[in-house]
Structure 1
């Protein structure tokens, strides 16, 4: 969600800076970059190391409240092409799951601000035991959608997110935002979602599956189905 569909990272940076400074600390842009793609409870540990004298749950709730307040004030800052691609996928009848390490209440706030029901399910950071880069959230999303992970396309912007989706066995597209992603045989890099279509996703899916078999990248095959899914 954050950085892939919506550009909420600046909102998180504001919240983190305000929180650290309220305890007399200094929070830099480099510190902000450490948090991109991480689970909120892992991020809370970093903030505690910078002097925030609150327990992890309190930090997560404070940050989420602050980001939600900014969303209410400024609206949803869509990443280029994200809303258009969601709408085309929805029109095509392709089931979608929102997989995010933000907490459920914030994910639902953003989903509710979309002017159509984009997602069949949401898997959020407070709904799983292990945060990204662990594959748990993506495996849970695929299970809810009723498809094997290998029959899904996952779209991610961060290294932990890409690692989680690859480990789950999905076909993965990396769309870097604040932090560059290295080239890899395990995923495809797109500079933006702008101009991307269902047809383009389908073509890429076929290419990646064929390439995976050629170079023996393990994929979860499971039961056969013609249905596909998209997760972000």
Structure 2
């Protein structure tokens, strides 16, 4: 394993990104996939129900659909994994067939960090097919590691995914910035010891020690990210 890098000046050693709802706005596509799968079996699933499961592990959301269908006297006739595969294939097709739905400021920050050589990783509950549909259209070589939900034994809010990404990049999670949008994701980043920048689009999140909540990443470049990282670490250290 690579020797962990120490802090270089006042910059994070790496930036660890969530994917859905943080880099690109795929959450509506996931929710629509859930609605469509339920409708095909004569069951109802609302957009509001879908938002409740944004950022949850794949088995949790799949189990919720199966249970909701049964409550309505319907049977999806699918395992939890089959439900998830059906959702993921729809989302991957959506990403491939449309312009990347970048979240405000995400593309500019990603490109700026890639240009200056900041190590980055993606940590997501999504399968590799969904991730590659977007990564293949992002700056080449931007991500030194990609950790999918199927590679960890415990999904978010457990920190395993972020700790795994930091290890693969050869850095300490405590010297990283995690960029997230969900409650589960921010909990995972904080549990890993990272500074968390939260940009919620589906749920409300509040500032807490080691976490900064922003309305969007618009106007946040590498220098601004460095400042947020340094400020958050100073608060935690105090």
Q: TM-score, normalised to structure 1's length? A: 0.89
Q: Give the aligned partner of residue 37 of structure 1.
A: 55
* Contact 2:157-2:187 at 8 Å conserved across structures: yes
Listed one character per residue, the Cα deviations across residues 79-108 of structure 1 (whole Å, up to 9, x for unaligned) are: 011111001001111000011111122112
* Contact 1:154-1:170 at 8 Å conserved across structures: yes
Structure 2: distance between partners of 1:102 and 1:171: 23
Q: Give the aligned partner of residue 153 of structure 1.
A: 177
Structure 2: distance between partners of 1:74 and 1:99: 23
Listed one character per residue, the Cα deviations across residues 28-79 of structure 1 (whole Å, up to 9, x for unaligned) are: 1221112111111111111111123310111111101111111122231110
Structure 2: distance between partners of 1:118 and 1:41: 29
Q: Give the aligned partner of residue 8 of structure 2.
A: none
Q: Give the aligned partner of residue 206 of structure 2.
A: 182
Q: Give the aligned partner of residue 36 of structure 2.
A: 18
2:194 matches 1:170: yes
* Contact 1:3-1:79 at 8 Å conserved across structures: yes
Of 73, 79, 84 in structure 1, the residue corresponding to residue 108 of structure 2 is 84
Q: Give runs of aligned pairs for residues 44-123 of structure 1, distance below 5 A.
A: 44-51=62-69, 52-123=76-147
Q: Give the aligned partner of residue 156 of structure 2.
A: 132
Unaligned runs of 5+ in 1: 215-232
Of 1, 6, 9 in structure 1, the residue corresponding to residue 27 of structure 2 is 9
Unaligned runs of 5+ in 2: 1-18, 70-75
Structure 2: distance between partners of 1:206 and 1:153: 10
- Partner-residue secondary structure (3-state), 1:50: helix
**CA positional deviation for 1:183:** 2.9
